[in-house]
A and B are shown apart, each in its own frame.
Chain A
Amino acid sequence: MGDVSRLLADYGPVFVQALFLTWKLTVISFVPGFLLGMVVTVLRLLPLPPLRFVLTVYVEIFRNIPSVALLIFIVFALPDLNVVIDYEPSVVLTLALVCSAFTADYLRAGINTIPGGQVEAALSLGMRPMRIITAVVLPQALRAVVQPMTSLLIALMLSTSLASQVPFPGRELTALVSKIATDSAAGIPAFAVAAAMYVATGLLIAWAGATLEKKARILR
C-alpha cells in the first residue's frame, strides 16, 4: 500500500490525465461508430442487392480484423496511398470502424426480435417503409440491444489501450503503465492503479447500462 501511495504522490495527476484521455477516446470513438452502425443496419434493410452485398462484406471485414492490424494499416500503410491521417484521428477511426461493424450486427439481432405482425399492421395503415423503419423498427431494436451495446462500450473502452502502439500525443492508462514500468521499479503499483481505474470505469458503464436496460426493455 505504501508503494501505491508513493506512486500516486509522484504520478497522481498524470494518472488522472491518462484516465480522462481514455474516457475521451472511448466517447469520441463510440458515438460515430454507433451512428455509422445504425446507418449500415438501415441500409442493409433496403432491397438493393449490390448495397446489401457490399455492406455485408464491410461488416465481416471489420468484425474479423484485429484492431492492431487495422490501426497499423491506417497509420503506416495509408500514407503510401497519399492518405496521411494524424495519430489521434487514426486511433478514433480504427475504433469507430470496428465499433460500427459490431453495432450493425447487434442491431440486426435486435431487429429480429420485433414481431413481423407489427410491420404488416403498419403497412396496412399505409405507412411507407422508410417511415416504418424509423418509427417502428429502429426504436424497438435500439431498446432491445442495450445490454450487448453496453458490453461493446466496455470492450471499446478497454481497446483504447491501442493508442499505446503508435506515437500518440499524450498517454492513456496502458501507455502510462508501460512507461512507468520501463523507467522505474514501480510497475506493480502502477498496474494496480490502472487496473483499478479500468475496472471501476467498466463497472460504472455496466451499472449505467443495466439501469438503462431496465427502463428501456420491452417485455413481450
Chain B
Amino acid sequence: MSRPLEDILFGAPSPQAQAVTRAVSGIAAAVLLLLAAGIVFRFHAAGQLDARFWEFFAWPTTWAFLAKGLLGTLASSAMAAAIALALGLVLLVGRLARPRLVRWPSIALIEFLRGTPTLLLIYVCFLVLPSAGIKLSTYWMLTLPISLSTAAVVAEVYRAGVLAVPRGQTDAARSLGLTEAQVFFLVVFPQTLRYIIPALVAQLVIVVKDTTFGYVVTYGELMQNAKVLIANYHALVPVYLVVAALYCLVNYAISRASKRLGGPMH
C-alpha cells in the first residue's frame, strides 16, 4: 500500500521543519481552544447555560421521550431502506433488460424518481394523492416517497456495480451453459454487492436524514418530540443541539458499521 499523500508531502522533515511544525501546531491548538472558549462564552452571555435550560436532560423521562421519537425515525427508515433495496433490484433488472419496451420505461422511471426532490414526493403523498382518492396512512405517507426516491438511486448504484464486475466473469459463466438469469443472480450480482456496500450504506444514511420531514405529514418522530420538549421548557438551543447530535451519532454509527461490512475487494 502506498503511503497517503500528506505523508509523502510532509514526511521526513528536517529538525528545523519539525520545530516549526510543532510551534505552528501549538498555535493552531491555542487558536482552536480560544474559538471553543468563545463559543462557550457566547452561550453563557446569552443565558443559555442556565440550569433551567439543561436540567430536564437529567431526567430519564426526557430521554425516554426522545427515544420514542428516535424509534419512530428508525421504524420509517428501516422499512424505506428495505423496500428501496428490493425495488431498486426490480428497477435494475428493467434497466438492463434487452427489449426496449422494458428498458425505456425503466430508464424514464429511474430518472424521474432520482430527479425530483424527496420533499416534493412527500408533499404529493400528503396533499395531492388524497384528492385522487389514494389515502395512505401517516406512516406510509412518509415511508413510501422516501423508499421510491431511494430505490431509483439504489438501482443506479447496483448498475454501477454490475458494470464494474469484470467481463470475464459473465463470459465464463455463459460458456458454462448457465442461463442469463443464473448468470446474473448467481455470478454477477453477488460480486456487485461487494463493490457497492459503501454506496448503499451512504444511501441508508440519506434515508435516515429524509425521515426528518416526518412532521410535514404529521408523523411522530424525533424532530416532533423535540418541539414538544421546547414548548415545555423553552430550551431551544439545548434541545436542538442534543437532537442534532443524536442524528449525527446515528448516521455516523451507520457509516462506521459499513466500514466493518466492506469485505475484501478485487
Contact = CB atoms under 8 A, between A and B. Distances in A.
Do A and B interact? yes
Interface of A: 44-51, 54, 60-61, 63-70, 72-73, 76-77, 80-82, 111-112, 114-116, 119-120, 123, 129, 132-133, 137, 154, 158-162, 164, 173-174, 177-178, 181-182, 185, 187-188, 191, 194-195, 198-199, 202-203
B242 to A, nearest CB: 11
Contacts of B247: 64-66, 69
Nearest to B13: A47
A115 B9 CA distance: 12
Nearest to B213: A68
B209 A66 contact: yes
B208 to A, nearest CB: 8
B120 A50 contact: no
Contact of B8 (A69, A119, A177, A188): A119
Interface string B112-124: 1011111110011
B5 A182 contact: no
A48 B46 contact: no
Nearest to A141: B5
B123 A174 contact: yes
What interface size band does chain B fall in? 35 or more
Contacts, number: 158
Contact of B241 (A49, A77, A116, A181): A77
Nearest to A44: B6
A82 B46 contact: yes
B4 interface: yes
Nearest to B255: A64
A181 B127 contact: yes
A154 B149 CA distance: 14
Contacts of B128: 181, 187-188, 191
A199 B127 CA distance: 21
B117 A161 contact: yes
Contact of B117 (A72, A76, A198): A198
Nearest to B112: A199
A98 to B, nearest CB: 10
